[in-house]
Amino acid sequence: MTLHRRTLLGGLATLGAAGPLFAAPAPAPAAGANLVRFGQTASLSGGQQRYGNDVRAGIVAALQAANRIELQRDGARALQFELQTLDDGGVKDRGLGNVRQLIEGGATALVGLTSGAIAEASLPLVASAQIALLGTASGNMGIRGGGTAGAAGIAGIAHVRAGYDAEYRRMVGYVRDFGMKRLGYVHLQDTSAANLEAMQLALQAARVQPAATIAVDRNAKSFAPQVKQLLAAKLDGVMFTTNAGPILRMVEEMATGGYSGMVFASSFAGQELVDGIALAGRSVVMSLVVPRPTALGLAVVNQCRQDLAAFGDGAKLGLTTLEGYIAGRVAVEAARAAAQRGTKPSRASMREALARLQTDLGGYRVNFGAEHGMHGSQYVDMVVINRHGHIVG
């Protein structure tokens, strides 16, 4: 995504050692406004470049729309929202440094991290700073109470989308329906064992054990050894929990090698997989954790389309921009709830507001609290992306 000078606010358009720093676009905060600064580390380069830019675009569209509404309603007293984004290239160490920099720079909350592995590695920093970690664009189970990081004991980790455990259970429904017995599981090598454990639990319910389990680098360009291993296993289906790049390359190489089984992808592959699978002339079964972008009858989808158009930077409505948009909308709702007696939200008041927030964004509900914990949504839809890039089923 190309960022023009006019879309950057004040003195925040700088370059840091961790990567480029961006801020949410105009309108700029009014004089005397209560500025709420959100921080994000995202993969604006590398193998997840499309995914990171799309998540960021959705968040920025939500914040920009909220800024307009706040200014019209409250004028100089209005809350205004700003996003600072640091590029991590999908690399864990860079992302961890970015999180530290954002926290030290005074971010009120962290929003829309685009790597579950980076979010998981950041948990000690999040706990120490007592800052909310909201809307990570990943179902990684290591930030949902699984794994070694102990996410369950850290306040302020708020999920606005379902986890991989919910997605895997729906995928396994297909496995059961089609009577599959030999399955492969491909996951990212930089994540904890929590995702693999969730997949194994889901498969055990169908009395199936993975015939091949393979870890891949999210930024790799070649997957020949991994494809060879999958083909040798004679699989009925392969389940991917990776970004789109590895899936697209491996599916193409597997087809060349004669693979005729089914391909499953988690939501983490995003809109890039939908677009890319059409170019490859293949099809894939995919789990969605947000409504379909074609469901314009839903207010949240239609409003996202309008706000992205107003953003004016070429971002299009899709699965990934919609996920970012939902995270941005929830961040705004929490900040509004946290603002009391004319004061801007603090880290503590943001965490407290999130803990009790319940909101309907227009066909997509996010409910936190005693009944739901910090898992705001369990929405999962299983669809087929056909060889024309259409969502069916």
Tell me if 393 is assigned to some domain.
no
Residues 196 and 96 in one domain: no
Instruction: Determine the pLDDT at residue 8.
Output: 32
275 within 8 A of 389, measured Cβ to Cβ: yes
Tell me if 51 is assigned to some domain.
yes
Geometric angle at alpha carbon 292, from 49 and 391, rounded to 5°:
85
Predicted model pTM: 0.91
Tell me if 192 is assigned to some domain.
yes
Q: What is the CATH number of the domain that holds 341?
A: 3.40.50.2300
Tell me if 181 is assigned to some domain.
yes
Of 74-78, 198-202, 251-255, minimum mean pLDDT range: 74-78
51 within 8 A of 273, measured Cβ to Cβ: no
Residues 121 and 214 in one domain: no
Residues 98 and 16 in one domain: yes
> In 3-state terms, what secondary structure has residue 291?
coil
Residues 339 and 236 in one domain: no
Token digits of residue 193: 């064992």
The range of the structural domain enclosing residue 128 comes to 5-163+295-367
Tell me if 383 is assigned to some domain.
no
Residues 57 and 118 in one domain: yes
Of 54-68, 188-202, 348-362, minimum mean pLDDT range: 188-202
Instruction: Specify the DSSP class assigned to residue 373.
Output: B
Tell me if 241 is assigned to some domain.
yes
pLDDT in tens, 120-163: 999 999 999 999 999 999 999 999 975 444 465 578 899 999 99
Range among 83-87, 170-174, 253-257, 312-316 rated most confident: 83-87
Instruction: Determine the pLDDT at residue 254.
Output: 95
Q: Identify the band that residue 313 occupies on the pLDDT scale cut at 50, 70 and 90.
A: confident
pLDDT at 285 exceeding the cut of 70: yes
Of 35-39, 121-125, 175-179, minimum mean pLDDT range: 175-179
Residues 77 and 179 in one domain: no
The 3-class SS string of 56-109 reads HHHHHHHHHHHHHHHHHHHHHHCEEEEEEEEECCCCHHHHHHHHHHHHHCCCCE
pLDDT at 361 exceeding the cut of 90: yes
Residues 53 and 119 in one domain: yes
Element (H, E) at 383: strand 381-385
Total domains in the chain come to 2
